[in-house]
């Protein structure tokens, strides 16, 4: 059972890999045509939803594995706070994505939304890198 849950945990980690490449994808979006930008933002919204499901898998499998292992309390607090931050940032980014795609359809200026999307994507990437760091080096704290 433990190996299967670890496998599911790794599948969830792969789903979160989207957050690592998201800032780089968004850096290239400005060079696209308006219809391509709208399609890209819609696709990013779908991938964000997929990554949110990956976060749920991480929560369930990681929470179970935490109960079976011997981890320090500060490490568990840091990991849970990072996971909750990723949940929050992933949820917050969905609104600007939706508004930017709708604004492009209406030929509005969406620079405010795209700025929020870039900032939130960078924060998501940093949170994920920190999470991976603490997963690999769990004896630091």
Spatial neighbors of 100 by CB under 8 A, at least 6 apart, are 41, 110, 113, 114, 117
Give residue-wise pLDDT tens across range 48-98.
Answer: 999 999 999 999 999 999 998 888 999 999 999 999 999 999 999 999 999
| pTM score of the predicted model | 0.89
What whole-number distance in Å separates Cα of residue 62 and Cα of residue 23? 26
What whole-number distance in Å separates Cα of residue 16 and Cα of residue 48? 9
**What backbone torsions phi and psi does residue 125 show, to the nearest 5 degrees?**
-65, -45
Domain boundaries, the chain: 2-136
Residue 118 has pLDDT above 80, yes or no: yes
């Amino acid at each position: 059972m433990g190996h299967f849950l670890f496998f599911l945990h790794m599948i969830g980690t792969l789903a979160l890999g989207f957050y690592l490449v998201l800032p780089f994808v968004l850096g290239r979006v400005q060079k696209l045509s308006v219809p391509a930008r709208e399609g890209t933002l819609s696709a990013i919204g779908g991938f964000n939803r997929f990554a949110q499901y990956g976060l749920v898998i991480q929560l369930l499998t990681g929470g179970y594995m935490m109960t079976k292992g011997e981890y320090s309390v500060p490490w568990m607090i840091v990991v849970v706070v990072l996971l909750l931050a990723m949940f929050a940032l992933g949820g917050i980014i969905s609104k600007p994505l939706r508004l930017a795609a709708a604004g492009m359809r209406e030929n509005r200026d969406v620079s405010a939304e795209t700025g929020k999307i870039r900032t939130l994507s960078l924060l998501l990437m940093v949170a994920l890198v920190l999470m991976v760091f603490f997963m690999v080096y769990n004896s630091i704290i």
